[in-house]
């Protein structure tokens, strides 16, 4: 009975999601496919699910404000020693 319950959610998800989805083919390098296969086996998720989530994250359109990026990293390395310009190796 438990196996039936665990399958019910993915079937419902597939029925609802796939009704609005469009099939798309992409080419992956051998290394990309290898890494995706490793991740999907580790996470026990489908290849399509991983790719959709990666695309959603990529397309999130959260533009970075340069000023806020600089402000958020200011002082991140307080002990960083930077040599004076006289010590730079100039070719």
| Residue 44 token pair | 């026990």
Distance between CA atoms of 68 and 81, rounded to whole angstroms? 24
**pTM of the predicted protein model:** 0.48
Residue 59: pLDDT over 90: no
Residue 70: pLDDT over 70: yes
Q: What is the pLDDT of residues 31-44, one digit of tens each?
A: 999 999 999 999 99
Q: How confident is the model at residue 80 (pLDDT cuts 50, 70, 90)?
A: confident
6 close to 16: Cβ distance less than 8 angstroms: no
What's the pLDDT at 1?
A: 45
């Amino acid at each position: 009975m438990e196996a039936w319950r665990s399958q019910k959610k993915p079937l419902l998800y597939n029925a609802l999601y796939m009704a609005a989805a469009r099939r798309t083919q992409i080419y992956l390098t051998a290394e990309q496919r290898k890494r995706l296969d490793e991740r999907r086996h580790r996470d026990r998720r489908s290849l399509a699910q991983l790719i959709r989530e990666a695309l959603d994250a990529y397309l999130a359109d959260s533009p970075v404000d340069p000023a806020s990026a600089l402000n958020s990293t200011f002082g991140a390395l307080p002990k960083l020693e930077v040599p004076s310009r006289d010590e730079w190796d100039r070719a």
